[in-house]
Amino acid sequence: MAPARPLSLVTGASAGIGASFARALAARGHDLALTARRRERLESLAVELHQQHGCTVTVLAADLADPAAPKALCEELAQRGLAVDWLINNAGYGVPGSFAASDWRTHADFLQVLLNAPVELAWRLLPGMHERGYGRIVNVASLAGHVPGTAGHTLYAPAKVFLIKFSQGLALESRERGVHVCALCPGFTYSEFHDVTGTRTLMNKLPGFMWQNAGEVVAEGIAAVERGDAVHVTGRVNRLIKGMFKLMPDRLAFRLSARQGRRYRQAD
């Protein structure tokens, strides 16, 4: 049984899909713990959500590139007597350009945020969910995890593949204990992602039907994890793309992905 007011921890909550998750969950009657690097944005969102929905919002500014951050977040929540019922592992970004063009610190920080942090947060919070017999974990992956890799953003798709497989295994381990785990796989989504990576101009060349807004992605994600779906690709167009690449011979799929990727890749 879900608690009367579940507590949701949302990472990367200062903008985009993370902020949309916070708004949607607050509207569902959740209290929130929000984390991201930009405290001012989190505090502004906290005021907005409290005024609109009367929820309690805990702001925990943190940089998940710091290996100590996941443990510190969970310890801070425990010290405040807060038990997390929903974990939204949303924090993420892309590193544009070729693999060799960035220094190792850049790649190490990326892997910490997109791989280590979500896995550690799940590991730390899952036992409490099992004990209470209720929990929801959404790992925000990507359509990129279902199609061949392309040049540029070299680690992004592999990281998302990991989250998909991790979510599937965790879902199987936890479904009999009242905990649902879902890898949410959006395609192109209107957010700050491409502004941060400096690829907005290139992305604007994509046709409008390829895009979803963050609210649509979040609504699908909440419905999917509640249903118990271990993996959910958002949007009909994205599901069509996934199916198309799945049916293609590997060599053809790789060539098509490479050709399309060159059109939207930022040069080093």
Nearest partner of 128 among 192, 164, 187, 74, judged by Cα = 74
Distance from C-alpha of 267 to C-alpha of 182, rounded to nearest angstrom: 34
Distance from C-alpha of 103 to C-alpha of 246, rounded to nearest angstrom: 34
Banded model confidence at residue 110, pLDDT cuts 50, 70, 90? very high
Residues counted in the chain: 268
Task: Could you list the beta-strand ranges (E) of 157-225.
Answer: 179-185, 188-190, 211-213
Answer yes or no: is 256 within a domain: yes
Active site residue 156: yes
Q: What are phi and psi of 210, to 5 degrees?
A: -80, -10
Residue 194 predicted with pLDDT over 50: no
Distance from C-alpha of 231 to C-alpha of 255, rounded to nearest angstrom: 26
Q: Write down the residue that tokens 């649902």 correspond to.
A: 180
What is the pLDDT at residue 268?
A: 58
Instruction: Give the angle subtended at the CA of 38 by the CAs of 80 and 188, to the nearest 5°.
Output: 110
Answer yes or no: is 250 within a domain: yes
Residue that wins the pLDDT comparison between 53 and 149: 53
Banded model confidence at residue 265, pLDDT cuts 50, 70, 90? low
**Which residues, 6+ apart, have CB-to-CB distance to 165 below 8 Å?**
none
What is the pLDDT at residue 150?
A: 84
Share of the chain above pLDDT 90, in %: 79
pLDDT digits (tens, 9 = 90+) for 55-88: 999 999 999 999 999 999 999 999 999 999 999 9
Structural domain boundaries enclosing 241: 7-263
Q: Write down the residue that tokens 């544009």 correspond to.
A: 96
Answer yes or no: is 1 within a domain: no
Residue 202 predicted with pLDDT over 60: no
CATH code, domain carrying 27: 3.40.50.720
pLDDT digits (tens, 9 = 90+) for 119-178: 999 999 999 999 999 999 999 999 999 998 888 889 999 999 999 999 999 999 999 999
Residue 266 predicted with pLDDT over 70: no
Contact yes or no for 24/218 (Cβ under 8 A):
yes
Which residue out of 93, 134, 156, 190 is catalytically annotated?
Answer: 156
Q: Write down the residue that tokens 């890799």 correspond to.
A: 149
Q: Calculate mean pLDDT across residues 40-48.
A: 98
Residue 182 predicted with pLDDT over 70: yes
Answer yes or no: is 2 within a domain: no
In the chain, the number of structural domains is: 1
Residue 101 predicted with pLDDT over 50: yes
Answer yes or no: is 67 within a domain: yes
Answer yes or no: is 145 within a domain: yes
Answer yes or no: is 41 within a domain: yes
Residue 32 predicted with pLDDT over 60: yes
- Share the mean pLDDT of the chain: 91
Residue 197 predicted with pLDDT over 90: no
Answer yes or no: is 210 within a domain: yes
